[in-house]
Amino acid sequence: MAKPVLKVKKDKNGKNCATVPCIEMLSYVYEKNLPLPDKSFNEIIKDLQEETKKVFAKTKPRPKAPTSNSFNNCNGRWAEYVFGAYVWNYLADKNATNKQNNDPIRFVYVKLPTNDSKMDAWISLLKKEQYDTLIEFERDDTDKQVKAAGHKAFRLCSSNPDSVILKFEENDYIQYGLDSMKTIDNLSGANIKMMDSVFSKLAGKVTIEENLKCFLSIKNSIRPDRRYQFVHEGDDVKAIIMLLCTRLQLNVGNISDFCQKRFYAFSLNGFNGADENCMETATTACISSPVMGLIWCVDKLFSCLTPEEIKNDMDVIMI
């Protein structure tokens, strides 16, 4: 992709101002290759920031330099695509091995979109019966108990996790227009688009018991308040799985066992003991039910400092 061209505008104070073109910068810097696997995510992001500052410095009229805050969103997206590409390739490799071994199972990395409509919520991946079961669980303000409590609705709410790993048989994979052997060798605009396009191809094709491997959520860095975002996403995922398992005959065996290994958190800048302790939190969905065993919101928090560490972490997850 060509060097990004900034649109310089005046801000309210009359200063020249430009937006950091986050996706364009990524595909400009990594058009030909992925970041080296032994470079830390820290360094990869620092490099992208430096390249961005150069583009700002060469633009006329010169916009004011981007602040720390203006990189926050970019840092997150940059990390997600780099991380995602390496997981994608890990799975392509696994798929190739499976093919060699006449194992029909193929895995796919689905980068989840922003959840700003029902269509974009990850549950819209589910086949109609399961999706409908979740929608039927919800109650609106015509419900007696909801009204009596002075509420407007009763439902589960969460932001989408960053990604989900699904599994299909090779035939389904092809039918959905996906190539299970395709690797990602660079972050060109086309590859970014490809990663983003998987979600809509798989909408309505997924069942919890056949196709769901696990969710992954990634953070560049953790803070004591933001780490509970991991916990809530995991809690929500587990609650949804529990609901489906208890309301439909899914033949998944023990529900608590089935809920295990379904939600993983990654920190690309390490974490401390308190962060790790927090991830040992129970899902509240299991504590009040005498029939439910132990279920955790987050199955593991990984410290993943470089792309090359992804392989070991994925080995733990995919076992």
Q: Which residues contribute to the site for DNA (CB under 7 A)? A: 19-24, 45, 66-77, 79-80, 114-116, 159-160, 162, 217-221, 223-226, 229, 269, 272-275
Please report, as residue ranges, which positions from 147 to 176 form the binding site for a copy of itself (by CB under 8 A).
149-159
Which of 276, 303, 305, 311 touches a copy of itself by CB under 8 A? 276
Q: Is 208 exposed, middle or buried (0-12, 13-18, 19+ CB in 10 A)?
A: buried
Q: How far is the CB of 276 from DNA (least distance, A)?
A: 10
Q: How far is the CB of 227 from DNA (least distance, A)?
A: 8
The first and second tokens of residue 195, run together, are 């990663």
Please report, as residue ranges, which positions from 95 to 124 form the binding site for a copy of itself (by CB under 8 A).
none
Of 57, 76, 69, the residue nearest 8 (C-alpha): 57
Counting contacts by CB under 8 A, is residue 136 touching a copy of itself? no
Counting contacts by CB under 8 A, is residue 58 touching a copy of itself? no
Looking at the DSSP assignment, which residues form a beta bridge with residue 216?
A: 163, 264
Residue 300 binding partner per list a copy of itself, DNA, none, with a CB distance cut-off of 5 to 8 Å that depends on partner kind:
a copy of itself
- CB nearer to DNA: pick between 9 and 182: 9
Which of 69, 101, 102, 251 touches a copy of itself by CB under 8 A? 69
Rounded Cα gap, residues 156 and 109, in angstroms? 25
Of 209, 7, 196, the residue nearest 88 (C-alpha): 196
Torsion angles phi and psi, residue 66, rounded to 5: -65, 140
Rounded Cα gap, residues 39 and 47, in angstroms? 10
Q: Which stretch binds a copy of itself (CB under 8 A): 9-17, 25-33, 96-104, 290-298?
A: 290-298
Counting contacts by CB under 8 A, is residue 48 touching a copy of itself? no
Residue 19 binding partner per list a copy of itself, DNA, none, with a CB distance cut-off of 5 to 8 Å that depends on partner kind:
DNA
The per-residue b/e assignment along 245-266, b for 16 or more CB within 10 angstroms, e otherwise, is: beeeebeeeebbebbebbbbbb
Give the strand order in the sheet containing 105-111.
105-111, 163-169, 212-219, 263-267, 300-303
Q: Which stretch binds a copy of itself (CB under 8 A): 84-92, 100-108, 184-192, 228-236?
A: 228-236
Counting contacts by CB under 8 A, is residue 70 touching a copy of itself? no
Q: How far is the CB of 181 from DNA (least distance, A)?
A: 26
